[in-house]
Structure 1
Amino acid sequence: MTELLIERHGPVAVLTLNRPQAMNALSQSLIRSLTAAVVALGRDETARVLVLTGAGERAFSAGLDLKELGATSGLLGMVEGDGERPNPIHAIAQCPKPVIAAVNGVAITGGFELALACDILIAADTARFADTHQRVGVVPGWGLSQKLSRIIGPSRAKEMAFSGRFITATEASAWGLVSRAVPAAGLMADVMALAQEIAEVDAGFLTDYKRLVDEGYDLAFGEAMALEAERSRRHNGALAPEDLAARRAGVQAKGRAR
């Protein structure tokens, strides 16, 4: 069975982790396939938006395949991804295209980290999230200990990190962990509608805007504001008035249609 399914819907590429019998756990082969696919689609000019989801209804991903780990000593090879080692988290972070996580079920530990690597998270109302590193005695290596506190605050992040408690999609939405929780039956329809809408935007603009948000997030606020000002001057100064007028008319027409 193919562990990673890739479907194209015009400018939207859907990547599905396809190990439902193992709750879409990340085997070494799946990690390699996913990393390679994200890198390749990032270079593909016909792909404008990527969607990442899991097969079945139970799981987005249960994280690293602990059964496989128990039979090997490959933990560092699976997690760190330095040099020759593939790392899907780095691949998603470096992808110039927007990546949307359609969280269809549980996202646990490494699967949680995989979801957090995406630019936008939309969850089924049946989805749940948990950091279970403390239960298996493994220190996070894909950013969970640092990213989560910056998204939901240190108190809530520590609650999850120290207890291993699962939070619901409703809690995740209230905490700002996901953009929104939607009925499970309509998850992919909602995500695909958003992806198609994003795909209408100029690809170069999306790449630059994603880079601006990500680079600014890593800076102190004052430095981030200076970065925005510099990029704004450089980009906006090159805009032709007639192009700006045409785009403004398009936005107004779209607003009236709604």
Structure 2
Amino acid sequence: MTSAPEQTYESILVDSDGPVGTITLNRPDQLNSWDWLMSAEIGHALGRFDADDGIRAIILTGAGRAFCAGAGLLPAGRTFDGSLTREEAEARYPGPRRPADRIRTPVISAVNGHAVGAGMTMALRADIIVAAEEAKLGFVFNRRGVIPDADLLWSLPRLIGYSRAMDLLLTGRIFSGTEAVELGIASRAVPAAAVVETANRIAADIAANVAPVSAAITKLVARHFLEETDRNAALELERDLFRWAGRQADAPEGVNAFREKRDPRWTLSKTKDFPVDLFDDRI
């Protein structure tokens, strides 16, 4: 891999290999523990990748044997006391930032090992999750004397159903990557050694074969529809966007590439050609 230009971080590594960008949580001696600095750095790196039309898929993974073991444990039990504020961390990295579920580029979480608490909320922001079969996963907030955050009480019941969500959120129990697939949290479970390779294979397939603007519309509108209660309004928006896509240059190109058995040559830009007049993702 070649390093992304002119930017270094303290808690993450950022690389790109052709159209695939990779963000690696890089505190292996602390099991990649989360804090506001890491959050700010991830948001900044995602923003840079999303602003680059050359990057068509992003992988988020962890260094060492863990993905992320949750919030960093500070002395005297000060895990959640706000010692490092969000504002202080983000001041180090000015510029646009959005979480993985709000950017136009598809994001794949390669959960290569244990992920609990904030590690799980981070992974769930991705569009696709590949988990290590034997990874220990958990929403352990209630076992730490706090409550689930990062909109888990809203999002997880919608993703996997209320009963299954409560089984995980109320108990805070540990479950495996294999069970995560059974629950509908993860997309695939593979041996730990194959997680990043599998994520790279998915990312390369998206980068080569999926139109960037089509991918952006699909992921952002699908997330938006988790909140849409009017099915007719959702259907109308979907129809408008389908009609718009069908009139763009990538539509005939996709058909021609299929017929000619060649790789497609997409021309629409995720940064310049997204139909904000139909669906404004900047709000």
TM-score for both structures, normalised by structure 1: 0.85
- Measured in 2, the distance between the counterparts of 1:242 and 1:163 equals 51
What is the CA deviation profile of residues 77-97 of structure 1, one whole-angstrom value per residue up to 9, with x for unaligned ones? Answer: 449x999999x9942122110
Q: Name the amino acid aligned to 2:26.
A: N
Q: Contact between 1:101 and 1:115, CA under 8 Å: does it hold in 2?
A: yes
- Measured in 2, the distance between the counterparts of 1:241 and 1:149 equals 36
Q: Contact between 1:78 and 1:85, CA under 8 Å: does it hold in 2?
A: no
The Cα shift of 1:142 comes to: 0.9
Aligned to 1:233: 243
The Cα shift of 1:15 comes to: 0.6
Aligned to 1:104: 112
Aligned to 1:45: 53
Aligned to 1:61: 68
Q: Contact between 1:24 and 1:61, CA under 8 Å: does it hold in 2?
A: yes
Aligned positions of 1:238-253 closer than 5 A: 238=248, 243=253, 245-250=255-260
Q: Name the amino acid aligned to 1:92.
A: A
Percent identity for Structure 1 against Structure 2: 31
Secondary structure, aligned partner of 1:66:
coil
Secondary structure, aligned partner of 1:163:
coil
Structure 1 position 27 matched with structure 2 position 35: yes
The Cα shift of 1:76 comes to: 9.0
Aligned to 2:222: 213
Structure 1 position 138 matched with structure 2 position 138: no
- Measured in 1, the distance between the counterparts of 2:59 and 2:107 equals 6
Residues 1:250 and 1:204: Cα distance change in structure 2 (over 3 Å): farther
Aligned positions of 1:101-180 closer than 5 A: 101-180=109-188
Q: Contact between 1:49 and 1:97, CA under 8 Å: does it hold in 2?
A: yes
TM-score for both structures, normalised by structure 2: 0.78
Q: Which moved more, 1:218-227 or 1:237-246?
A: 237-246
- Measured in 1, the distance between the counterparts of 2:84 and 2:11 equals 21
Aligned to 1:203: 212
- Measured in 1, the distance between the counterparts of 2:40 and 2:57 equals 21
The Cα shift of 1:125 comes to: 1.0
Q: Name the amino acid aligned to 2:212.
A: A
Aligned residue pair count:
251
Residues 1:73 and 1:85: Cα distance change in structure 2 (over 3 Å): farther
The Cα shift of 1:18 comes to: 0.7
Of Structure 1 and Structure 2, the greater helix share is in: 1
Q: Contact between 2:99 and 2:125, CA under 8 Å: does it hold in 1?
A: no
Unaligned 5+ runs, structure 2: 1-8, 265-283
Residues 1:198 and 1:119: Cα distance change in structure 2 (over 3 Å): same
RMSD of the alignment, in Å?
Answer: 3.1
Aligned to 2:190: 182
Secondary structure, aligned partner of 2:214:
helix
Unaligned 5+ runs, structure 1: none
Q: Name the amino acid aligned to 1:204.
A: V
- Measured in 2, the distance between the counterparts of 1:34 and 1:251 equals 38
In the alignment, which of 9, 31, 36 is matched to residue 44 of structure 2?
36
The Cα shift of 1:253 comes to: 9.1
The Cα shift of 1:143 comes to: 1.5
What is the CA deviation profile of residues 164-211 of structure 1, one whole-angstrom value per residue up to 9, with x for unaligned ones? Answer: 111111111111111110111211111111100000122222222222
The Cα shift of 1:245 comes to: 3.9
Q: Contact between 2:116 and 2:139, CA under 8 Å: does it hold in 1?
A: yes
